[in-house]
Amino acid sequence: MATNAIDRTRRMLSLVTYLRERPGARVDEVARAFGISQDELISDLSVLPMCGTSFRGGDLLDIDTDGEHIWWYNAEATGSSAGEPLRLAADEATALLVAARAVATLPGLRDGDREALLRATAKLEAAAGESAGASSRLSVTFESEGEVFAVADRALTERRRLRIRYYSPGRDELTDREIDPVRLFAVGHTYLEAWCRRSEARRTFRLDRVASVELLDTPADPPPVEPRDLSEGLVQPAASDPEVIIEVGPGGRWVAEYYPHDTAEELPDGGLRITLRTPDPATLRRLALRLGRDGRIVAPAQLADSAREAARAALAAYDTPV
Amino acid sequence: MAIAKAERLMNLALCLLGTGRPLTKRELRTSIEAYIEAGTEDAFNRMFERDKDDLRELGMVIDTVESLDGEIGYLARRDRNRLPPLTLDAEEAAALGLAAKVWQQARLAGAASGALQKLRAAGMPLAGAEQETFSALEPRIPAGEAAFEPLMIACRDRRPVTFDYRKSNAAHAEQRQVEPWALECWRGHWYLAGYDRERRAERVFRLSRISGRVRSRSGAFTAEVPGVVAVRESVAEWAGESATGAARIRLRAGAGYPLRARATWTREGENGWDELEIPHGHGLGAWLVEFGPDVIVLEPAELRADVVDRLRAVAKG
A146-219: CATH topology:
SH3 type barrels. (2.30.30)
B192 inside domain: yes
Q: Determine the pLDDT at residue B160.
A: 97
Q: Which residues of B touch A283 (CB under 8 A)?
A: none
More confident residue, B286 or B104: B286
Q: Assess if residue B142 is contained within a domain.
A: no
Beta strand ranges found along A55-209 (DSSP E): 63-65, 69-72, 138-141, 160-168, 173-187, 189-196, 201-206
Q: Closest-CA residue in chain B for A135?
A: B156
Residues B37 and B7 in one domain: yes
Question: Residue B311 is part of which domain span?
Answer: 245-316
- CA B222 to chain A, closest CA, distance in angstroms equals 18
Does residue B226 sit within a domain? yes
Residue type, B226: P
Q: Do B59 and A89 touch (CB under 8 A)?
A: yes
Angle between helix B90-100 and A111-128 (nearest 10): 80
Residue B9 located in a structural domain = yes
- Give the pLDDT score at B208: 87
> How many beta-carbon contacts under 8 Å exist across A and B?
405
Residue B143 domain-assigned? no
Q: Is the pLDDT at B309 greater than 90, yes or no?
A: yes
Residue A270 has its nearest CB partner, among B108, B109, B171, at B171
Report CA dihedral (B206, B209, B211, B217) to the nearest 10 degrees. Answer: -30
Biggest CA-to-CA distance, chain A: 94
> Same structural domain for residues B167 and B223?
yes
Which chain A residues are closer than 8 Å to B314 by Cβ? 288-289, 291-292, 307-308, 310-311
The rounded mean pLDDT for chain B is 87
Among candidate residues B99, B89, B78, B59, the one with its CA nearest the CA of residue B18: B78
Which chain B residues are Cβ-neighbours of A14 within 8 angstroms? 114, 117-118, 120-121
Please give, rounded to a whole number of angstroms, the shortest distance from the CA of A196 to a CA of chain B: 19
Residue B47 near residue B9 (C-beta atoms within 8 A)? no
Task: Quote the percentage of chain B above a pLDDT of 70.
Answer: 93
Q: Is B240 on the interface with A (CB under 8 A)?
A: no
Amino acid in position A86: L
- Separation between Cα atoms, residue A205 and residue A199, nearest integer Å: 13
Given pLDDT bands bounded at 50, 70 and 90, which one contains residue A140?
A: confident
Residue after which a domain boundary falls, among B81, B100, B115: B81
Given CB atoms, is A13 within the 8 Å cutoff of chain B? yes
Check whether residue B199 and residue B166 sit in a common domain.
yes
Same domain, B253 and B283: yes
Question: Rounded to two decimals, what is the model's pTM?
Answer: 0.74
pLDDT tops 60 at residue B1: no
Which residue type occupies B197? R
Residue B259 counted as domain residue:
yes
Q: Is B218 on the interface with A (CB under 8 A)?
A: no
Pairwise CB contact (< 8 Å): B317 & A308: yes
pLDDT beyond 80 at B294? yes
- How high is the pLDDT of residue B187? 75
Fold of the CATH domain A5-78:
Arc Repressor Mutant, subunit A (1.10.10)
Q: Give yes or no: residues B233 and B300 share one domain.
A: no
For B46: left if phi > 0, alpha if psi spans -120 to 50, otherwise beta; the answer is alpha
Supply the ipTM of this predicted assembly: 0.79
Identify the pLDDT of residue B170: 73
Same domain, B271 and B232: no
When scoring B7, B14, B37, B153 by the number of chain A Cβ atoms within 10 A, the one with the most, hence best to mutate, is: B14
Contact A78 B316 (CB under 8 A): no
User: What residues does each domain of chain A span?
Assistant: 5-78, 90-137, 146-219, 243-316
> How many CA atoms does the CB half-sphere of B81 hold within 13 Å?
28
Within this chain, do residues B14 and B69 fall inside the same structural domain, yes or no? yes
In 3D, which of B164, B161, B150 has the Cα closest to residue B210? B164
Q: How confident is the model at residue A1 (pLDDT cuts 50, 70, 90)?
A: very low
Contact at 8 Å (CB) between B315 and B292?
no
Strands B137-140 and A173-187: parallel
Torsion angles phi and psi, residue B97, rounded to 5? -60, -40
Q: Is residue B10 part of a domain?
A: yes
Interface mutation vs chain B, best among A7, A193, A207, A294, most B CBs within 10 Å: A7
- The continuous run of DSSP H or E covering B153 comes out as helix B148-157
pLDDT digits (tens, 9 = 90+) for B105-159: 888 999 999 999 999 999 998 866 555 555 566 777 877 789 999 999 999 999 9
Give me the residues of B, 109-148, that contact A with CB < 8 A. Answer: 109-123, 126, 133-142
Domain-located, residue B186: yes
pLDDT of residue B48: 94
Tell me: the pLDDT tens digits for A36-93? Answer: 999 999 999 999 988 887 655 557 888 889 889 998 888 777 665 567 889 999 999 9
Domains in chain B: how many in total? 4
C-alpha dist (Å) from residue A24 to A21, A38, A66, A78: 10, 16, 10, 18
